[in-house]
Structure 1
Amino acid sequence: MRKGWFMGIRAWVAAFLTVLLLAAPATAQKVLHRGNGSEPETLDPHKSTGEPEGWIQYDLFEGLMTVDGAGNLIPGAAESYTVSPDGLTYTFKLRDTVWSDGTPVTAEDFAFSWRRLLDPKTGSRYAFFLWPVKNAEKANKGEVPLSEVGVAAPDPRTFVVTLEAPTSYFASALQHNATYAISKKSYEKHGEDFIKPGNLVSNGAFMLVEAVPQGYVRVRKNPRYWDAANVRLDEVVFHATENRDTELKRFRAGELHLTYDVPDPQIPWLKQNMPAELRIAPFFSTYYYAFNLTREPWKSNPDLRKALALAIDRTIITEKITLSGEVPAYQLVPDGTANYASPKPEWASWTQSQRDTEARRLVEAAGYGKGGKPLEVELFYNTSENHKKVAVAVASMWQQKLGVRTVMNNQEWKVFLQTRSRKQYRDIALGRWVGDYNDAYTFLGLFLSDLGPSNYSGYASPEYDRLVRAASSEVDAEKRRDLLQRAEAVLLADLPIIPVYIYTTQNMVSPRVKGWVPNIRNLHPSRFLDLN
């Protein structure tokens, strides 16, 4: 009797618990919504060039090296590597991992991908990242077959790289998305469509689920990722929002957990009213304008270029326009770069009044300005309210001080990149470079004369090329620094660009987001973030 009573109670309790479990809501998924600036140019790591693509690719792929949540270099797809005593051979030992479709990630995937990056048919603007590899530059220029590039896969988990000369920054550069591997098997099956949702396989912490043009890109946690147990987010949605005011409204409405940027005019209000959410930090990035040196009058008139550079009051721009602690720039490489201090032109120490006086003299000497020919320039930038405000301020300075009329021209991000890389802009184009690793070479290497589309000013100086190339293979740190400083001094004297300011980063971060660590590279892979 007692046994039957007990069994009845136990059955009732079990049924009651079952009802409770069925009625209870499922564990809520952690979905992080990130503002991501412009529409991604492409998710192909060997063809993309901008930050909006890079943030997504950091989640989808993992290079031989990667970064942690504070932007520090750590092992990625390679669990370790060794360097030969002469500094010429790097041997990477890959982790025992698989792609998101379950097929092994192999050394041959990396060899295939690096050859694809260098293949002239790919047209990558970042192929120069691998130029230190033996025969890589020649292969990229079509001078030798890709089979002669110094990469080898002696077994599935060993990737061997031979360099032309010792290159101190080489390992650091391998966290960049251009050097990522794609699945050779998937590419051979799908061709250039390998990047589409449903086709793309990845070796990163997340997998591609959905890509809506001018909308968003959705990625989902990759259960086959080698460190999946420590990935806290279930999904990440990257929202394309070029208008910063709209992005901020979406953040304040709770639609976004993170913003890509912040509208400059809103920063004083945000500092006062939302200080916990506003994150401002130094950034390894320079804002500048580039002259199109393939066209006149810029090609043969350095004094005219200098006049426009002198007339820009950088203090007004950083203190009245951008408002986020940016530092006026008279050099290309940001202060704080490891083992480096930029040379400054003589006029950097002048008062703005002195610069303006010299600018007027140079313009008139070139036959423009007061009593001379009228000068009209086109200022070209990608669509952005922040860029527009800076451009309007610069145009006003040129008009008031030099009598220069400025025509504004802006294009959507993808079109802007194509126009600029092909040097199809008329006069002056916006440039912004974010250092890909903490070394001066990541900035100075951009202006090598044979860099093609990536050198979008068309700057060509044999002396500059000689110094930068000598620095790239110099193993003595002091001698290398001297070579790079001398190269930057040549660049600043020639003025193919006008440095304007050194960036800070401005992001809105929801209190729900955990793991966001300010860092000079502003790298925040979703793998290290969480939501409470």
Structure 2
Amino acid sequence: MPRPRLPVIALLLTVAACGGPEGQRKDNAPVVVSAIGSDRLLVDPSTTAIDHAQAVALAATAQGLVRFDRNGQIEPALAERWNVFDDARSYIFRLGEATWPDGQPVTAGEIVRVLRRAVAANSQSRLAPYLAVIDEIVEMTPQVIEVRLKSPRPDLLNLFAQPEMAVFRAPTFAGSGPFRIVPGKRDGLLLRPAEEPGDDPKATPAPEAFVRLRGERAAAAIARFRDGASDLVLGGTLVDWPIVAAAGIAPENVRIDSAVGLFGLVVLRRDGFLSTPQNRAAIAMAIDRGALTSAIAPDWAPAETILPVQMDSAAPPAPGSWMTVAPDQRRALAGQRVREWQSVHRGPVEITLALPTGAGATLLWGHLASAMIAIGLTPHRVGLGDPRADLELVDAVAPYDSGRWYLANACRACSDDAATLVAAARDAPDLYNRTHRIAEADAMLASDVAFIPLAQPLRWSIVALRLSNWQGNARAWHPLNHLRKQ
């Protein structure tokens, strides 16, 4: 079983030895934030897939038409209001006042050009498959933009609130706020609040209104917080969760989001033992989800279905056929199916799992490997993207509230019938047909056992007590302009 690398262990020992209370920086000092990810914070999301740190930086400096508030709900940004027409095929946005860092007004034409580039077919954005529904983005007047869709999408605003849809000027990445980048060579980015209409341009905000943002590895971010040198760590996942406990962070500083998305094993190959739904179901039955989640993190929610709730499906989340078996009988039935396969094919049944690196992934591997060994399988671990993998971990928070996102990401090597239904949901001509195609695709994927749900995504932050406005939410998204009460 892989072990954490020695530099990480050494860092943790240093961190654990540090004294002092967490989150005790002066309340009138700038807010210091570590976002887990790359230290190269400013990148173009249409040409580069961005990580969490880059998403935080982009959203802080360059808003889109709308954005998320501290509860993960839509709030106005460049658009001050909007209306939805034609069965959610047309969105009309009326723009408010906004300026670039040089004081020039942000125009509808500039917004349209940036958004068209963001939804282009060659975009590298994770949102590209879901933005393909956009037919046109049109400047109707200097204050009004219309987004026209090929098919109805009542959830489009959630996509437009994503950081990848931010409006900025290339190549400087200058946006309209809610923060401005203070120029100069510094550690990370120093951000000051953008001016509101009517503000005195010469006025300097209070020190506590500034934010210093860094992108760095989880171990370094946790060490910085533990040493009293930062106020917030954002973007924690299962991979680095064990470091939090090893560092001895005070429980009142550790926050876990009620994140909603996919966390489970997607089937990559449909040959050998995995060629039948019954055998794929055997792996699903072998895993005790409650024992897995409770052993790793408190209040981590297990999952047995692909859809967490009904959302825009015409039916409740579809249960897998294996869920009709009583929990205390599942592992015995799973072992029986493995033995039946071995009686015909002889030799060990080997299953290769692709998992990320990191201490948390190693904990997960221990539970999954133990469950598979218990039913007679021989598991192997490889890294994400390894072509030898039979199953791969999917760990993603849903960017918008539609069952189609879940189904599209769960259908990597699903049956042709299931893939056809997922595509039919995408292309449905109206909301009635869309909801029914989503329900049918969900039922087909559950029956096919193309995806093995394990839990909801584990997302955590470390929060100083002075950031009283921090709020956990289902999107695990925490805007830097909503950390303190205004």
Give me the TM-score of the superposition, normalised by structure 1.
0.73
Pair 1:345 & 2:316 matched: no
Which stretches in structure 2 are left out of the alignment for 5+ residues? 1-25
C-alpha contact (below 8 Å) 1:127/1:178 kept by paired residues: no
Deviations 1:365-404 (A, max 9, x none): 4448x97232333322223221221112211221232231
Query: In structure 1, what is the equivalent of residue 448 of structure 2?
Result: 494
2:354 aligned partner, one-letter code: F
Counterpart of 1:287 (choices 256, 259, 263) is 263
Deviations 1:29-77 (A, max 9, x none): 7432223223278732333254333222221221111122222211111
C-alpha contact (below 8 Å) 1:270/1:278 kept by paired residues: no
Query: In structure 2, what is the equivalent of residue 20 of structure 1?
Result: none
Matches within 5 A, 1:287-366: 287-293=263-269, 296-297=271-272, 300-320=275-295, 322-335=296-309, 341-366=316-341
Query: In structure 2, what is the equivalent of residue 201 of structure 1?
Result: 174
Matches within 5 A, 1:442-457: 442-447=405-410, 457=412
Cα displacement (A) at 1:92: 1.3
Matches within 5 A, 1:28-67: 30-39=29-38, 43-46=43-46, 47-67=48-68
Whole-angstrom distance in 2 between the partners of 1:438 and 1:40 = 30
Whole-angstrom distance in 2 between the partners of 1:102 and 1:125 = 32
C-alpha contact (below 8 Å) 2:93/2:145 kept by paired residues: yes
2:103 counterpart SS class: coil
Pair 1:441 & 2:441 matched: no
Query: In structure 2, what is the equivalent of residue 3 of structure 1?
Result: none
Larger displacement relative to structure 2 (295-304 or 166-175):
295-304
Query: In structure 2, what is the equivalent of residue 78 of structure 1?
Result: 79
C-alpha contact (below 8 Å) 1:167/1:475 kept by paired residues: no
Q: 1:474 to 1:348 in 2, by over 3 A?
A: farther
Cα displacement (A) at 1:344: 1.7
Q: 1:472 to 1:35 in 2, by over 3 A?
A: farther
Cα displacement (A) at 1:434: 0.6
C-alpha contact (below 8 Å) 2:137/2:145 kept by paired residues: yes
Larger Rg: 1
1:45 aligned partner, one-letter code: P
Counterpart of 2:157 (choices 171, 188, 200) is 171
Q: 1:217 to 1:355 in 2, by over 3 A?
A: farther
Cα displacement (A) at 1:467: 5.5
C-alpha contact (below 8 Å) 2:414/2:448 kept by paired residues: no
Query: In structure 2, what is the equivalent of residue 181 of structure 1?
Result: 167
Deviations 1:258-302 (A, max 9, x none): 22338655778999x834323234221331122223x74477444
Q: CA RMSD in A?
A: 3.7
Query: In structure 2, what is the equivalent of residue 7 of structure 1?
Result: none
Cα displacement (A) at 1:526: 0.6
Query: In structure 2, what is the equivalent of residue 241 of structure 1?
Result: 217
2:259 counterpart SS class: strand
Whole-angstrom distance in 2 between the partners of 1:343 and 1:132 = 26
Whole-angstrom distance in 1 between the partners of 2:447 and 2:199 = 51
Q: 1:81 to 1:211 in 2, by over 3 A?
A: same
Whole-angstrom distance in 2 between the partners of 1:227 and 1:525 = 24
Higher relative contact order (Cα pairs below 8 Å, separated by 6+ residues): 2
Deviations 1:420-475 (A, max 9, x none): xxx84633222112122334333234356xxxxxxxx3445344543563477575
Pair 1:157 & 2:143 matched: yes
Whole-angstrom distance in 1 between the partners of 2:72 and 2:389 = 37
Q: How many residues align?
A: 450
Counterpart of 1:469 (choices 417, 424, 430) is 424
Cα displacement (A) at 1:118: 3.6
Whole-angstrom distance in 2 between the partners of 1:476 and 1:125 = 24
Larger displacement relative to structure 2 (509-518 or 260-269):
260-269
1:497 aligned partner, one-letter code: F
Query: In structure 1, what is the equivalent of residue 374 of structure 2?
Result: 400
Counterpart of 1:251 (choices 222, 225, 228) is 225
Q: 1:115 to 1:100 in 2, by over 3 A?
A: same
Cα displacement (A) at 1:527: 0.8
Cα displacement (A) at 1:493: 1.8
Percent identical residues: 20
